[in-house]
Amino acid sequence: MRSLPVPDPGVADHRTPGRFLWWLARGQWQTLLGGMFFGIVWMSCQAVMPAVLGRAIDRGVAARDEQQLVVWAGVMLGIGLLQAVTGIMRHRFAVTNWLTASYRVVQLTTRQSVRLGGSLPRKVSTGEVIAIGTTDLDHIGNVMDVTARFSGAIVSFLLVSTILLTTSVQLGLVVLIGVPLLLLLMGPLLKPLQARSATERQMRSDLSNTGTDIVGGLRVLRGIGGEGVFLGRYRRESQATRTAAVEVARLQSVLDALQVFLPGIFVVLVVWLGARSAVAGEISAGELVAFYGYSAFLMLPLRTATEFANKLIRGRVAASRVCRVLALDPDVVEPASPAPTPAPLAELRDARSGLRVRPGTLTAIVSERPDDSAHLADRLGLCAAEQDDEVSLGGTPLTSLPHAVVRERVMVSDTGATLFAGRLGDRLDEHGRGGVEAAIATASAEDVLEALPDGLDTVVTEKGRSFSGGQRQRLVLARALTADPEVLVLVEPTSAVDAHTEARIASRLRAHRAGRTTVVTTVSPLLLDAVDEVAFLVDDQVVATGTHADLLASHPDYRAVVVRDVEVSA
């Protein structure tokens, strides 16, 4: 499929579901018009077929005129061939419209996820995004799909009404008045259907969240014996969601039944009136057959109209969820007037905490509370929920720089970083810069690679769950080292490995990052022994800086934090 022109999510009209659907329709108006054109011709061919059949009966069969019979049979053949061709084209355009709308929603949601970055999990749940990618885009695509048939239904209804009025005013008025009346009778069901669909959609999203939480924390649950508790919780939510889905299906079944029952009554009424007119001599036998054909055909426009209303309701519910995600703004927005890019090897500084990271050095941040040092690391990379102008690179606030520049020069790799599914070599070298082997050696992950039958060609499972915690942490470290940014911020990069592996990583990290700036948050003496400078953080303030040995000798609080960590590890 060709690349679809999708603007930035912030440009998309997401104020209301109706405007969003209209915005999508405007973006694919050529294929929508094509589908509507072929839908109108296709359904119009079906609409005029009873009239042609009636002419063939009156002028060919009843009049015993073989020439007229052949002529009208040829007309029916031509209309049938045109109906077949336009039906094929209508279906092709309908599928194209469905795919185009669905993938534009995927592109918009994906770009919005990238735009939000670290703000995404703080603003919207995983289950909500999953539901958009599994069910919502399907409902939105269905709206674009049914548009072609709905336009054909409107035109064919007007065409049949005109033909009937020219033949019998009574039957024409019955059709013109009866069809809208049938739609009005089904109207009261549409609003409750929309409300129940919205409730069921929210419960499905919540259920996806619960399932994601259980899968993500399965190892922890097994360790504490909590599988039964979460199984019971998932079972209750699943049953509640099933009950909500049954309520939607119950109302939907009533609507579907009415789509058959009411048009059936309408067909009986039209045939009865036509039969009376034929007995009275007001219409011919061929016209009676045509009336019956019109009555049977009118079931198609009626069902199409109700199908359109049903899919439009579901599409609006889905669009409202998409709009909610598109309306979100990242915690840190792009600067209106970006500042000039700082020179290479610039100093990274945080005025709030007093941290100063000299260019080209390996600096450690130590804190009694790991959350404080991790939060500072997020602020250094413009990843925190709240961001101000106090973090600067070369004297320029990070908030004044384009986000692409910040992401290129400053990278934060925290303990929550995961491996995406795919070929391992591609996952480690996502920027295509090479040096994977050297990064693996620095991360002391050679044994992980050797244990894999296909080496770097091994396909990584979702979130790297096939690896142990220590293996995954080392591979994440290797990925960060392969990216080779100017400033690399590592949050507890060795917390899940043994002491021997940690010692090897500490001894290799300095050489691998020579000439570039590296910041590590840790309380491990093995790592602290290998760094150039240590910043001791207390209550979000740097209270002391120096080498690890100097701080051990001169700062009792620092010594208490580091020595306690050694005792806990022992």
Q: Do 47 and 297 touch, CB atoms closer than 8 A?
A: yes
Q: Tokens 């939607």: give the residue.
A: 248
Mean pLDDT, rounded, for 523-538: 92
- Beta strand extents in 457-557 (DSSP E only): 459-460, 487-491, 517-521, 533-538, 541-546
Whether the pLDDT of residue 568 is over 70: the answer is no
Whether the pLDDT of residue 530 is over 60: the answer is yes
Whether the pLDDT of residue 509 is over 50: the answer is yes
Tell me the Ramachandran region of residue 444: left when phi exceeds 0, alpha when psi lies from -120 to 50, beta otherwise.
left
Mean pLDDT, rounded, for 422-436: 81
Residue 406 or residue 222, greater confidence:
406
Whether the pLDDT of residue 565 is over 70: the answer is no
Q: Which of 387, 404, 391, 401 is nearest to 330 (CA)?
A: 387
Mean pLDDT, rounded, for 397-412: 89
d(CA 189, CA 119): 40
Mean pLDDT, rounded, for 513-537: 93
Number of Cβ within 10 Å of residue 40's Cβ equals: 22
Whether the pLDDT of residue 484 is over 70: the answer is yes
Average pLDDT along the chain: 81
DSSP 8-state secondary structure symbol assigned to residue 361: -
pLDDT one-digit tens code per residue, 148-203? 888 888 888 888 878 777 777 777 777 777 767 776 766 666 667 666 766 776 67
Of all residues in the chain, what percent carry a pLDDT higher than 70?
Answer: 85
What was the pLDDT predicted at 229?
A: 66
Q: Tokens 């279906």: give the residue.
A: 91
Cite the DSSP H helix spans in 132-168: 137-167
Confidence class for position 434, pLDDT limits 50, 70, 90: confident
Which of 186-190, 330-334, 495-499 ranks highest by mean pLDDT?
495-499
CA dihedral 346, 352, 353, 357 (to 10 degrees): 0
Weakest-pLDDT range from 148-157, 327-336, 502-511: 327-336
Q: Tokens 């020069």: give the residue.
A: 409
* Assigned token pair, 183: 């739609």
Q: Tokens 């002028």: give the residue.
A: 59
Confidence class for position 567, pLDDT limits 50, 70, 90: very low
Whether the pLDDT of residue 139 is over 60: the answer is yes
Q: For 292-351, give the DSSP string.
A: HHHHHHHHHHHHHHHHHHHHHHHHHHHHHHHHHHHT---SSPPPSSPPPPPPSSPPEEET
What was the pLDDT predicted at 497?
A: 87
Whether the pLDDT of residue 465 is over 60: the answer is yes
* Assigned token pair, 22: 């209209």
d(CA 25, CA 343): 46
Residues recorded for the chain: 570
Whether the pLDDT of residue 6 is over 80: the answer is no
Q: Which of 195, 197, 185 is nearest to 135 (CA)?
A: 197
Mean pLDDT, rounded, for 119-129: 73
What was the pLDDT predicted at 357?
A: 94
What was the pLDDT predicted at 1?
A: 38
d(CA 545, CA 523): 14
Whether the pLDDT of residue 278 is over 50: the answer is yes
Looking from the CA of 114 toward its CB, the CA atoms found within 13 Å total: 10
pLDDT one-digit tens code per residue, 210-227? 666 655 555 554 555 556
